């Protein structure tokens, strides 16, 4: 059963929890500024620890995985990716970092390193913001 469309340009709330003062937000800001896809990845398993708008996770090799998105982005130039890795207790002094390569409108390819060598990270995060097709 369909009820039709609800359309509005501004979202208004009373903000009763904090100040009881009315607050407004342009809905295009909500649409354009929110994460369209995110994933918390355990590369050791490999498995999603949590995710939104993902279809599959592919473990390509040590320190190399792909997050596949359920929804297509309009182009690879229309989205940005933020990635992070949490240092493990035994590796706090080591340098861990991630990089991207060969991504598409439906897949984000992530590489994780530690001290210059590929390494699987237990807590690896990906956040994607941009324009969906």
Average pLDDT over residues 30-42: 80
Q: pLDDT averaged over the chain?
A: 79
Tokens of 30: 């909500």
**What pLDDT digit, counting tens, does each position of 68-79 carry?**
999 998 888 888
39-61 tens-digit pLDDT: 999 988 899 999 999 999 999 99
Domain ranges of the chain: 35-130
pLDDT, average across residues 89-112 = 75
Look at residue 87 and tell me whether its pLDDT is greater than 70: no
Token code pair at residue 50? 């949590």
Residues 130 and 78: beta-carbon distance below 8 Å: yes
Q: Which residue has the higher pLDDT, 107 or 7?
A: 107
Nearest to residue 127, comparing CAs of 44, 40, 59? 40
pLDDT at 125 over 70: yes
Residue 27 has what pLDDT?
A: 55
């Amino acid at each position: 059963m369909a009820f039709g469309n609800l359309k509005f340009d501004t979202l208004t709330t009373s903000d009763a929890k904090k100040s009881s003062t009315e607050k407004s937000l342009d809905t295009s800001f909500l649409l354009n500024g929110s994460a369209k896809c995110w994933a918390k990845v355990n590369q050791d398993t490999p498995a999603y620890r949590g995710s939104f708008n993902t279809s599959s996770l592919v473990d390509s090799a040590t320190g190399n995985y792909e997050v596949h998105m359920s929804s297509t982005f309009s182009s690879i130039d229309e989205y940005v990716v933020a990635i992070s890795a949490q240092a493990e207790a035994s590796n706090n002094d080591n340098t861990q970092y991630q990089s991207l390569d060969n991504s598409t409108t439906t897949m984000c390819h992530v590489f994780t390193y530690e001290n210059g060598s590929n390494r699987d990270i237990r807590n690896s995060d990906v956040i994607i913001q941009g324009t969906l097709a």
